[in-house]
Amino acid sequence: MSERLLTVENLEVSFSAYAGEIHAVRGVSFYLDKGETLVIVGESGCGKSVSMQTIMRLLPMPPAQIKNGTVLYKGQDILKKTDKEMERYRGKEFAMIFQDSMTSMNPTMRVGRQMTESIRKHQKAYGTEAKKIAVDMLAKVGLPNPKQIFYRYPHTLSGGQRQRVMIAMAISCKPSVLFADEPTTALDVTMQAQILELINHLKEETQTSVVLVTHNLGVVAKMADRIAVMYAGQAVESGTVRQIFYEPGHPYTWGLLGAMPDMLQSRKEKLYTIQGTPPDLFAPPVGCAFAARCDYCMKACLKENPSEYTDGKGHMVRCWLQDARSPKAEAPEGVIPIPLFPEGGALNG
């Protein structure tokens, strides 16, 4: 039986701004088991990164404010931990790979010094021992000449090298959970594939659990055990890769899948897009947040936020279409990506 590491329940996070309160995360729930990869997918501003940073307790408070919810890690509510206690969690239990390695590393410190800082703190290794651990990690992430890179400044490295250094820093204290916040967005396509391959390889080797945040569904299929689809600060659908790709139940997931470029599509055909824009999170709608963009919107959708419907096999859909009283609706033709992911192909869920 799988071991539950992290349980996030009904998490609500807001930001105070001059113009009012931004309801960035509005009741998000998900879980993570030991050794699995959960991919959180959704468009910019849907609350993916804010959720991760809240779990790591990296958000400045104020302006951020946790309004509700619990984050249980190995049975402990980490939202109740003091800043001092959280220092022991960050690095040792949780580590994060950020989107932009250039702004996430200290430009005035050599790579080696930045790496050995957390090795000293969490592994109690000092001097040549700490240096050896750091150099070994740089070699492990595939960097040539790791001893030289140890003494280099971040700005002298390429984007791909810096991202590998960040991964080496993140895994150097063998964290139980690795949060990767769009780790390949700033890289070219070849480098993206290499970095994802590396994260997958390290996860297998160290049995680390991974929470990967992305807006790229191609990445999702390659990496995920389970997927959570977020929209306007809420998880609107979650399940295994197979459930999300082959049995999607939420119109927003249908839209995301339909918008994936299809290699078999004629060049004359227009690429599908989801019309409209996400709602203003200063004043989120009373009903379903996707209603203004949804082709299946009903009266009930405008009046009340949909409940979470689960099928007993771990597939959750937050949509009134799942209610027994609603008219039957299925994913539009072309949404289920059979030609892209044949049976036994990339999908592993």
Q: Which is nearer to ligand SF4, 188 or 323 (CB)?
A: 323
Q: Smallest distance from the beta carbon of 251 to ligand SF4, in angstroms?
A: 4
Q: Smallest distance from the beta carbon of 319 to ligand SF4, in angstroms?
A: 3
Q: Which of these, 169, 194, 5, lies nearest to 97 by C-alpha position?
A: 169
Site string for ligand SF4, 211-250 (x = CB under 6 A): ---------------------------------------x
Q: Name 164's Cβ contacts closer than 8 Å, sequence gap at least 6.
A: 138, 141, 142, 143, 195, 198
Number of residues interacting with ligand SF4: please give it, by CB under 6 A. Answer: 14
Q: Please, which residues bridge with residue 229 across strands?
A: 41, 237
DSSP annotation string for 288-315: -TTGGG-TT--HHHHHSPPPPEE-SSS-
Q: What are phi and psi of 217, to 5 degrees?
A: -70, -20
**What number of residues does the chain have?**
349
Q: What are phi and psi of 116, to 5 degrees?
A: -70, -20
Angstrom distance (rounded) from CA 178 to CA 159: 20
Among 251, 255, 258, 278, binds ligand SF4 (CB under 6 A): 251
Using CB under 6 A as the binding rule, the residues of this chain from 272 to 291 that contact ligand SF4 are 288, 290-291
Residue 256 sits in the site that holds ligand SF4 (CB under 6 A): no
281 touches 45 (CB < 8 A): yes
Q: Which is nearer to ligand SF4, 112 or 255 (CB)?
A: 255
Q: Smallest distance from the beta carbon of 321 to ligand SF4, in angstroms?
A: 5
If you search the block for the tokens 């001893």, which residue do you land on? 147
Using CB under 6 A as the binding rule, the residues of this chain from 290 to 319 that contact ligand SF4 are 290-291, 294, 296-298, 301, 306, 319
Q: Smallest distance from the beta carbon of 324 to ligand SF4, in angstroms?
A: 14
**Which residues form the interface with ligand SF4 (CB under 6 A)?**
250-251, 288, 290-291, 294, 296-298, 301, 306, 319-321
